[in-house]
Amino acid sequence: MNQSQPTMFQFSGLTDDTALAIFLFIFFLLVYMITVVANIGLFITVHKTPALHTPMYYFLSYLSVVDLFYSSVIVPKLILDLVSRRKVISFHGCALQFYFFAALASTDAHLLSNMSYDRYAAICHPLHYVAMMTKTRCLCMVLIAFALGFLQSAAQTSCMFSLQYCGSNVIDHFYCDIPPLLKLSCSDIVMCDMVIMFLIGIYGIGSLIAILIPYLFIIISILKIKSSKGRQKAFSTCSSHIICSSIFYVSVLFNYLQPPSNAVNTQSKVASIFYSVMTPMFNPLVYSLRNQEVRNVIVQNVHILCSKRM
């Protein structure tokens, strides 16, 4: 254990095919630009529109902020590496990337849980909704989401980067993630692996359960509604959240709950692209395109801008 830690890591990246790398560079650059514009636009729209000053959109605005930084931790480096000969990152840079990625991913999951509770309160307890979802409670829920996300990430990062890394310094991925880093360690990883799996289980699966249980009560309440129009209206308020949560959790669980094997490296990278690159873009687009209130506000703003120019 007298060996020194590596000063640099090198990523294997997504591809060694030059033509494919150029295509992916253009594609991910476009995705990142849409992500930045869509999330900033949605955040500004929510905070500048009094009609959207409700708990659901309050959580959505913070989800946009998290998605913006969550994507920015990974995607700019990924885009740069696609056109670089050497895909390198410093040891401390790797630790920082992993810390913020894990923290923001966990915060994202907790905010999705908060939004499911908000839908539960609105549909199952409409008469008590205002009393249940006060501004103070909403603020506390957001602060707890950030606190838990960053605290558990600190524990994971301390565990991962206190290990010794020797031999190859090539991370078989396009960012610093748990499975490829553990493969490079020459330390005994059993304890660290147990700690990380415990945290992922508590915060990942726990937040998923916190989404599923409210939706169980929501479905029961919707089925009790006699009119089909009423059921459709109630379900429509949840559809955007269901779509965004499904994309996020399916890709995350596929990546972290499969057994470690070289045969699934490509599949793991594809799953990682979905929750680290595509999900931050999908979230604001899904909420903007499927939500009537947000669409109306966007259309009104476009009309106002067009009339001013004319």
Q: 188-224: per-residue pLDDT in tens? A: 888 888 888 888 778 778 888 999 999 999 988 888 8
107: pLDDT confidence band, cut at 50, 70 and 90? very high
Q: Is 248 part of any domain?
A: yes
202 assigned to some structural domain: yes
Indicate the Cα dihedral angle 246, 248, 249, 250, nearest 10°: 70
**Residue 151 counted as domain residue:** yes
2 in a domain, yes or no?
no
Q: Quick one: average pLDDT of 30-41?
A: 93
Phi-psi region of 274 (alpha: psi -120 to 50; beta: other; left: phi over 0): alpha
Q: Within a domain: residue 204?
A: yes
Q: Which domain holds residue 267?
A: 8-309
Report pLDDT for 182: 85
pLDDT score recorded for residue 253: 74
- Strand pairing partners for 98? none
Considering the domain boundaries, does residue 1 fall inside one? no
- 178 burial level (CB within 10 Å; 0-12, 13-18, 19+): buried
What's the number of domains the chain is made of?
A: 1
**Residue 158 binned pLDDT confidence (cut-offs 50, 70, 90):** very high
What is d(CA 179, CA 143) in angstroms, rounded to the nearest whole number? 29
Tell me whether residue 68 is in a domain: yes
Instruction: Judge whether 173 and 12 are in contact, CB under 8 Å.
Output: yes
| Domain containing residue 128: CATH number | 1.20.1070.10
Let me know if residue 51 belongs to a domain.
yes
Which is more confidently placed, 37 or 232? Answer: 37
